[in-house]
Copies of this chain bind each other. A is one copy, B any other.
Amino acid sequence: MAATMADVARIAGVSKKTVSNFFNGYPYMRDETRQRIEAAIEQLNYKVNISARNLSSGRTGSIGLAVPELAHPYFAELSQAVVSAAQRRGLNVLVEVTDGKRTRELDVLNGTGGRSVDGIIFEPIALSPDDIRDATTAIPLILIGDRVHEGRFDFVAVANEAGAHDATAHLLSSGRRRIVALGMEDSEEPTAAAGRYRGYLRALEEAGVRCDPRLLVGPIPWNRTAGADAVARLIDEGVEFDAVFGLNDALALGAMSQLQRRGLGVPQDVAVVGFDNVDEGRFSSPALTTIESGREWIAQKAVELLAQRLASPEESMGTTLLMAGHRLVERDSV
């Protein structure tokens, strides 16, 4: 049987409470007491039983992070940032992968999985605003990312429309006129694809460029393969274009790979811009021009907001909506 706090107390000749104090950094303690406790801990190789602490204190010291996918560079980098920020605050992170499936996302929202965390940071991609409104979660929840779900929960958002506008405007200002909107979605739903598509349209409009429907590609999955396949299809169908705006970097990178495979020069024949500024884009050939969407900041703010919620005893303070800044990162693909 593993040693308990009572064992340590007995061996050190103090009470349980004093041992508890020791572990919780209670400052007032004689050095000699401290040393006796340390010796007892060492002797027994004692480890605090976290489950007991959790039950007793009503907290777990862990937060959940629910993302569609972990292998995707954007989410990998986001998760890294969240985990780091959490560790800095002494919080553990339980990662849940939803695969972007609505049912799994609903489980996250409603705690069906049996929560073992104090709060959740959650990037949904399949839920509707209604789903979110009807959430029954019992613990604090911070939404991040792509959709704007006004109201019930704190939210840290990506500047989808503004960023997409700038990306498109950059292509236009370099003289491109036939710009593929790769991964778009024409919808009223507050999805990333729809928001970024709106930004694209607005930039075209401002420049007085007509939007050719053959250049609108989507909805498709936002990964490299889909980007590459879509571009292959455009080429095969003889659609003419002089630029590709990949609504995320994965699409843009997949597109670029396919363009080059087909003998098209980037950026000479076709310019490419992405969105997200994942590390990978710095090392593609050519390096990918993209929109920095504030991943790091988002992760940090989300953890900060959640930590606040956990700290303040239940109370109101309304809900916070934060919008990340964005910035064009010019590299060689335009």
Contact = CB atoms under 8 A, between A and B. Distances in A.
Contact of A95 (B47, B60, B95): B95
Interface string A266-279: 00000000000001
Interface stretch (A8-16, A86-94, A162-170, A197-205): A86-94
Contacts of A159: none
A138 interface: yes
Contacts of A87: 96-97
Number of copies of chain A assembled together: 2
A128 interface: no
Interface string A66-82: 00011111001101100
A282 interface: yes
A95 to B, nearest CB: 5
Nearest to A46: B138
A115 B283 contact: no
A83 interface: yes
Nearest to A54: B51
A264 to B, nearest CB: 11
A2 B138 CA distance: 9
Contact of A116 (B62, B80, B283): B62
B97 A50 contact: no
Nearest to A49: B55
Given A50-B114, A95-B95, A254 B228 contact: no
A60 B95 CA distance: 15
Contacts of A94: 62, 92-95
Interface string A19-51: 000000000000000000000000001011111
A77 B80 CA distance: 13
Contact of A80 (B47, B97, B138, B254): B97
A260 interface: yes
Interface in A115-150: 115-116, 136, 138
Contact of A287 (B79, B84, B257): B257
A189 B285 CA distance: 36
Interface in A176-195: none
A215 B300 CA distance: 42
A34 to B, nearest CB: 17
Contacts of A257: 283-285, 287
A244 to B, nearest CB: 14
A61 interface: yes
Given A45-B138, A50-B60, A224-B279, 4 more contacts: A50-B115, A51-B60, A61-B114, A284-B284
5 contacts: A45-B138, A48-B114, A51-B116, A61-B116, A70-B83
